[in-house]
Amino acid sequence: MTILDGKKTAADIKEELALEVVELKNKGKKVPHLAAIIVGNDGASLTYVNAKVKACERVGFESTLIRLPDDTTEESLLNEINILNVDSDIDGFIVQLPLPKHIDEQKILMAVDPDKDVDGFHPTNVGKMALNLPTFISATPFGILELLYRYNVETSGKHVVVIGRSHIVGSPMSILLSQKRRIGNATVTITHSRTKNLKELTLQADIIIAALGIPEFLKADMVKDDVTVIDVGITRIADSSKKSGFRLVGDVAFNEVSEKASFITPVPGGVGPMTIAMLLKNTLLACERKN
Ligand code: NAD
């Protein structure tokens, strides 16, 4: 069994990015600049967005964090987005989700200039992704592709079962893995909360992508021997033995499933760190395309 070590792979990618920054500087070129907008004080969102900003600093990117209060109106958020859209120093930016309920998320994502949409959430970029055209692939699916690539996991001709059909993970993952691409050419089954015979399907899978957000949902009796398992789930479970007061649990019962798997991602340290690394990669890409 091989652990698909997202923490180490993400560190490798960040080292590669840092070298590219040095090269850009040596050539007198502009360093990539990522901006992030966060609305409100949600603890998990603040942790994620701070991790993104810190990661920028570590690789030598410039970063800007824009913090807006919980009661920010949709109009003023749209105004902030427009400022970033026209700021030529900003190569890419993200709006940290979820947004407060009084703000229409779709309207906000639509307002981001697709050329700066390093999260890859704008319909233009989702459409390009679906057509296998050059674009920004959103960071979590992009990270999963990269992890499979760097560990030489064969996907061609394999049966992939994706659990979950969200716009940010399950749906793009199913599209990407079925495409004719380096990591792709798989036969993909996408499943969701209305799927009836899930276990029958997962038992046929060579590769399982679990992205449903139910802790330890995928058990050993649901997978065949030598399966590859990508655990996207992150749920905070209260744990008084931890300094933070919680621990992170994935969608896979790791201890039992890892005994049958040939490749498996841990939680934490699997898909999570890859997501940030690929956001940085998209920012570099945005900077290169623009300049
Ligand atoms: P979501 O919450 O938007 O959707 C969950 C999906 O799971 C839905 O499509 C639903 O139909 C499906 N589902 C629910 N119950 C099911 C069941 N019993 N059987 C089959 N399918 C079922 O999902 P999301 O936003 O993709 O998040 C999923 C998990 O991944 C969450 O834990 C989230 O925190 C995590 N996540 C992690 C990263 C990362 O960087 N590692 C990124 C995004 C999401």
Structural domain 139-272, CATH architecture: 3-Layer(aba) Sandwich (3.40)
Give the number of the atom of ligand 1 that is nearest the alpha carbon of residue 165.
9
Give the number of the atom of ligand 1 that is nearest the alpha carbon of residue 212.
7
Dump pLDDT digits (tens) for 13-68.
999 999 999 999 999 999 999 999 999 999 889 999 999 999 999 999 999 999 99
- Out of 173, 199, 212, give the residue to mutate to test ligand 1, the one with the largest number of ligand atoms within 8 Å of its CB: 212
Q: Band of the pLDDT at 291, cuts 50, 70, 90?
A: confident
For the chain, give every domain's residue range.
Answer: 28-113, 139-272
Active-site residue, from 96, 117, 206, 281? 96
Q: Which residues define the annotated binding site for NADP(+)?
A: 164-166, 234
CA of 266 to the centre of ligand 1 (A): 16
Active-site residue, from 119, 206, 231, 251? 119
Quick check: is 119 catalytic? yes
Tokens representing 69 are: 């209060």
Q: Which residues line ligand 1 (CB under 6 A)?
A: 140, 163-166, 168-170, 191-193, 195, 198, 211-214, 232-235, 271-272, 275
pLDDT of amino acid 190:
98
CB 6 within 8 A of CB 274: yes
Average confidence (pLDDT) over 107-123 = 98
Decide if 28-113 and 139-272 have a common fold: yes
Q: 28-113 — its CATH code?
A: 3.40.50.10860
Dump pLDDT digits (tens) for 262-289.
999 999 999 999 999 999 999 999 999 9
Residue of minimum CA distance from atom 4 in ligand 1 = 166
Average confidence (pLDDT) over 223-251 = 96
Average confidence (pLDDT) over 201-230 = 98
Q: Band of the pLDDT at 211, cuts 50, 70, 90?
A: very high
CA of 192 to the centre of ligand 1 (A): 9
CA of 288 to the centre of ligand 1 (A): 32
pLDDT at 157 over 90: yes
What one-letter code names the amino acid at 74? E
- Out of 4, 144, 169, give the residue to mutate to test ligand 1, the one with the largest number of ligand atoms within 8 Å of its CB: 169
Average confidence (pLDDT) over 172-191 = 98
Of 234, 291, 290, nearest to 117 by C-alpha is: 290
pLDDT of amino acid 246:
93
pLDDT of amino acid 192:
98
pLDDT of amino acid 290:
87
